[in-house]
Amino acid sequence: MYKENNYPSQLLEDAVEAISTLPGVGKRGALRLALHLLGSPAENVHHFTKAINDLRDNVRYCRVCNMISDTDICSVCGDSSRDRSTVCVVESVRDVMSIENTMQYKGLYHVLGGVISPLDGIGPDNLAIDALERRLAAPDTEIKEVILALDGDVEGETTSFYLYRRIAGYGIAVTTLARGLGFGDDLEYADSLTLGRSILARQPFSIERK
């Protein structure tokens, strides 16, 4: 009998332990994945692990905006058709991909690489905030607006507030994302904080919906 958390093989147990460190993967799911990999051709498994090691070991970041990139300057920063007067400050690579997918934003980005979170030991010095300030302070800067596009949780709000205070001195417009009911949302199911803010921040009615 294999007791709970006991496996017929130490190698299998080690692999399950490692796989279950992934977010959203429990012990059962990790066992399923480990046995799948065990049953796959060795070259497929090596390709799988090599792709992950390569990503972690050889990843590069754009030296302007800190976005993941295979080149020194990322494809957004290097695109002369983008609006260079606007910089959207986000937490992560994922956020840039989400905003790009909306096809609504034509400016540049700045990826902080996280948010201020004292509980996790992450302070302003661990984020790409100095690099952002250098972009704003550069003599040839074209930046006229900084959009703080961070999450609406405590860490995101704290970071937005901190950034606002550091940026305020540069005479650059600082904006943030509109918050309110989602498009298509029912009032009935909206949380009261969001609904309350949506009333306070009400907008002129327009037949042309954006």
| Chain residues in the site for its own copies (CB under 8 A) | 1-2, 7-12, 14-15, 17-19, 21-24, 29, 31-38, 40, 42, 44-60, 67-70, 74-76, 92-94, 96-97, 100-101, 103
Minimum CB separation of residue 25 from its own copies in Å reads 8
Minimum CB separation of residue 138 from its own copies in Å reads 23
| Complete edge-to-edge strand list for the sheet that includes strand 83-90 | 107-111, 83-90, 145-148, 173-176
Residue 91 or 167 with smaller CB distance to its own copies: 91
* Token pair belonging to 67: 């976005």
CA quadruple 157, 159, 160, 165: dihedral, nearest 10 = 130
CA distance 28 to 35: 11
Angle, CA of 37, 38 and 42, to the nearest 5°: 80
Residue 127 or 167 with smaller CB distance to its own copies: 127
Minimum CB separation of residue 37 from its own copies in Å reads 6
Minimum CB separation of residue 204 from its own copies in Å reads 30
